[in-house]
Structure 1
Amino acid sequence: GKNYTPSGNLAGVSSSVQRAIQIAAGELGVREYAENRVNRPYNINDAWCASFATWAWRQAGINVPWTNKNYVRSIWSDAKRMGLAGSSSSARPGDLVVLNNQGHIGMVVARNGNTITTIEGNSSDAVQRRTYNLGASGMVGVVHPPS
């Protein structure tokens, strides 16, 4: 997992976004040792997908003053208010993608046509890579990092 190289075109992607992707990729394979418990800095003793995504952004210097960085609905609401929310069709590497009707969030690490690859925390109790078609059922939209 440590040698993961993002696929897809990263031309024009900012260095902070590239760093966020590398940081998220470095966590691939982290698993819960007990329910909603991971021995990592993004552990919150609760559902941790949002904590993981915002931690990866912050480690890369992408700091957004979320009302609650650990709660997907709060992040999506803030993103809309701040003008950072976009439709899933605008997804690009480094974005956070809001899934499961605001019940889950992950980081977009690659886009190829109408397919995105994500790295998500708390995906089947681990940090895992997933692939989705844009507009998949329950996909709400994306949160772009501030420019």
Structure 2
Amino acid sequence: MSPRLLSAVGAVAVAALLGTATPVSAESELRDEFPALTAAADLAASRSEVVRIANGEVGYRERAGNCTKYSKDCAAWCGMFTRWVWNKAGVSKLPPAGYGKAWVATYWASWGAGKGLLKRRPAGTRKGDPAAGDVIVYGVPGSLAGHVAIVAKVHADGKLTTIDGNLSNKVVKRTIDPKTTTTNGGSVYGYVRPAF
């Protein structure tokens, strides 16, 4: 490692410890020297932002008639909530809003597959490679019975903590087993990853 790069790494470390901004030259030096590492760090920060925004909504309750702040439409709103969170977090590819689109939970799987963003969960397993910030999809594409939520944490045993809109008429945080949990008549179909 060159003395200049070592200095840049030190500046970033000190800034992180002090909670201050990283000097632009040091950050630029690291990005030039380690593009894959900095891209991974950026992705992790973006996924953390999805989870932070979703966490801030836990406890929010719908108004009468399935109306929420997540859309002007008053209807089942898990998809509205999920899309709203991704939009606030700066996700660049979003499923189109509206009925027959992002408001239908199982549409997320079809949309994600078409964009190359869907990771299927093999039946009878906890697999599927979910990550924090992903959208978990319950139900088979094309079905009206389903649900979507934000993956907040992946546990070592394969269980997931999710943040769900429109579960008991509010936003809730829960831990589920993707192998056995069903919601609104659907089991876990897969995970749609965000594109930033």
TM-score tier by shorter-chain length is: 0.7 to 0.9
1:85-127 CA-partner distances (Å, limit 9, x unpaired): 0034211101000124461000000011210000010011100
How far apart are 1:76 and its partner, in Å?
A: 1.1
| SS of equivalent to 1:140 | strand
Q: Secondary structure at the match of 1:122?
A: strand
Runs of 4+ in 1 over 4 A off after TM superposition: none
Could you say which residue in structure 1 is the equivalent of 2:194? 145
Question: Quick one: which of 89, 96, 104 aligns to 1:60?
Answer: 89
Q: Report how far residue 44 of structure 1 moved.
A: 2.3
Specify the SS of the correspondent of 2:188: coil
1:93 to 108, 132, 135: 132
Query: Unpaired segments of 5 or more residues in structure 2?
Result: 1-39, 122-126
Q: How does 1:38-49 map to 2 (within 5 A)?
A: 38=68, 40-42=69-71, 44-49=73-78
Displacement of 1:22 in angstroms is 0.7
Question: C-alpha separation between the residues in 1 aligned to 2:112 and 2:178?
Answer: 19
Counterpart amino acid of residue 174 in structure 2: R
Counting aligned pairs with the same residue, the percent is: 29
Q: Distance in 2 between matches of 1:14 and 1:44?
A: 32
What residue in structure 2 maps to residue 134 of structure 1?
Answer: 178
CA contact (8 A) 2:106 2:139 kept: no
SS at match of 1:86: strand
Q: Which residue of 2 aligns with 1:106?
A: 149
User: Of 21, 25, 31, which residue of structure 1 is paired with 2:55?
Assistant: 25
Q: Whole-Å Cα distance in 2 between the matches of residues 43 and 135 of structure 1? A: 34
- The Cα of 1:56 is off from its aligned counterpart by 0.4
State the Cα distance separating 1:65 from its structure 2 match. 4.0
Judging by fraction of residues, say which structure has more helix.
Answer: 2
Give the TM-score normalised by structure 2. Answer: 0.63
What CA RMSD, in Å, does the superposition of the two structures yield over aligned residues?
A: 1.9
